Structure 1
């Protein structure tokens, strides 16, 4: 094992009981780390010049004073737009994030949406609330999963786990990804993003797991919906700003797709007067697909692993391509 080198790790404000606890645990478990907990921006400004690494959101004014900073741990898997500003992108420091901690929870949420549409729950749950017993004809209202096709846009950790679960139901999985070179056995086809428009007409379920980046902002628009089957369902659990909601509403109203399920939205919270709320073929959850046990412990483990790696000069987990925000 390589020897550890002492370094200063700055916890940027705001602080919570959780981050203070993380600071104590890191001090106790990572050799050579000097933890500085900044409760205010003034304290952070005083400490940043001596910091080798930091956790949290780093505004440009602090970055300008960061004479030694070589590593920044982002506080989220996909921080909001503005986290990666030009000065941070051009700076030589490495950014890491919390991706991968939601894979099991979010993939289960996607499966819930797929199964709900496949078995008509978007129809039957409202009927239940109306106390209405109404059966469709025997050969209608369901999607036979064996023989159906799902297109996953974004085959990262969440997309890969979702593909594995879908394949277990007999669904043929197509995928689009900008980076991934290898195709898992349970994915029938893996394509580059340029192939998306040729794949959309083949899918019964189109599932977006992509982050919000300069390339994906608003990329799912009316033109993409028009390429989908009229019997197909659209699911977005990635980031809301990847999909134009006005275009989604128009596509649903025109019958261009059969339905949509969303956990993320262009505007959050979604205004009460938004037309999506009243649409019978829409399922919505309030940006909570990642909810589940063990998330904070998973976050801490990434920080702890990266602190140990940083001290020993080893590669860090979850390194971000800053120019592309993930």
Structure 2
């Protein structure tokens, strides 16, 4: 196959931000054919001759893609079911969108950490009730310059979060299955089998890990009970890593100072869920990645990988399909 001579199918449903992507891809890579089928019945026909695809391929669609060699996932952590057994078994190479929201997610994470450290959820509720109730006790705040943080997931987002925490004087350690060299600001990074011995050490536990077979239910009743009394939990990774019923019990029992969640086991979080009104909880609706340039960054990942695919070069952000990341 000559350079750039391949067919890429953009699989619906797709957001409007991608409408001009076929023209932009063909302008940048003469010879590439980009197909964006609008009708469901045309998707299978297009996939039958596709070398590459962008989007989500359910098992019935994957069965039509006999020539497929590369699939670009549209997200850093696709929703449950994306890595179905047929996709894991298929020889197609999958890449994702990791490291496209790093600055936004790390900034949001720090906002959540600071809010818990300075009791902002309590003061926001006091404001809504027009209640003047300052807390000047010694344990009113977590002094970040004296605190210890455990960042579970030291990839791009975790590394940037750790760097920002260290700028406040926080001692930072990490847990990661792949990262071994400590990123800037980290004292050290340890493998996942060290998690249980590190949880009692940390004043702040930040989860940035993806949803994988190994991280589902990672923070359950036992692990929450092993956290340091008065510690805070922040989750900006994926909702299924924290068992919400167990978290509510840990907050109710006084084990934890607070929890801040941008992601939930069930999204949207049901209106009657106790976390909405819990005095120790801070909830944001899966918006940590919000910020400018997101669509452009995703396009740049797709374009870079398209160039690499055309040239026969290694792709970026390759996923271990069996581990979903």
* TM score, norm. by length of structure 1: 0.96
Deviations 1:46-75 (A, max 9, x none): 111211101111122222222211000111
Matched length: 324
How far the C-alpha of 1:38 sits from its partner, in A, is: 1.2
User: Partner of 2:192 in structure 1?
Assistant: 193
How far the C-alpha of 1:17 sits from its partner, in A, is: 3.0
User: Partner of 1:221 in structure 2?
Assistant: 220
Alignment of 1:17-56 (within 5 A): 17-56=16-55
Deviates more, 1:30-39 or 1:106-115: 30-39
Alignment of 1:1-326 (within 5 A): 4-326=3-325
Distance in 1 separating the partners of 2:57 and 2:164: 38
Distance in 1 separating the partners of 2:66 and 2:197: 49
Distance in 2 separating the partners of 1:186 and 1:151: 12
Native 8 Å contact 2:217 2:240 kept in 1: yes
Distance in 1 separating the partners of 2:184 and 2:17: 40
Where does the alignment leave 5 or more consecutive residues of structure 2 unmatched? Answer: none
Native 8 Å contact 1:77 1:98 kept in 2: yes
How far the C-alpha of 1:172 sits from its partner, in A, is: 0.4
How far the C-alpha of 1:129 sits from its partner, in A, is: 1.8
Deviates more, 1:29-38 or 1:194-203: 29-38
* TM score, norm. by length of structure 2: 0.97
Deviations 1:254-290 (A, max 9, x none): 1111110001111111111111112111111011111
Native 8 Å contact 1:263 1:284 kept in 2: yes
Where does the alignment leave 5 or more consecutive residues of structure 1 unmatched? Answer: none
Distance in 1 separating the partners of 2:24 and 2:275: 45
Tell me, what secondary structure is at the counterpart of 1:69?
coil
Distance in 2 separating the partners of 1:5 and 1:136: 64
How far the C-alpha of 1:15 sits from its partner, in A, is: 3.8
Distance in 2 separating the partners of 1:295 and 1:109: 15
How far the C-alpha of 1:118 sits from its partner, in A, is: 1.6
Tell me, what secondary structure is at the counterpart of 1:25?
helix
Native 8 Å contact 1:4 1:31 kept in 2: no
Native 8 Å contact 2:171 2:187 kept in 1: yes
Deviations 1:71-121 (A, max 9, x none): 001111111111111121111110011110111011111101111122221
Native 8 Å contact 2:48 2:66 kept in 1: yes
Deviates more, 1:34-43 or 1:190-199: 34-43
Deviates more, 1:271-280 or 1:296-305: 271-280
Distance in 2 separating the partners of 1:15 and 1:233: 37
How far the C-alpha of 1:144 sits from its partner, in A, is: 1.1
Native 8 Å contact 2:71 2:95 kept in 1: yes
Distance in 1 separating the partners of 2:200 and 2:15: 48
How far the C-alpha of 1:226 sits from its partner, in A, is: 0.8
Distance in 2 separating the partners of 1:221 and 1:95: 30
Native 8 Å contact 2:4 2:29 kept in 1: no
How far the C-alpha of 1:16 sits from its partner, in A, is: 4.0
- 21 and 80 in structure 1: CA distance in 2 versus 1, 3 angstrom threshold: same
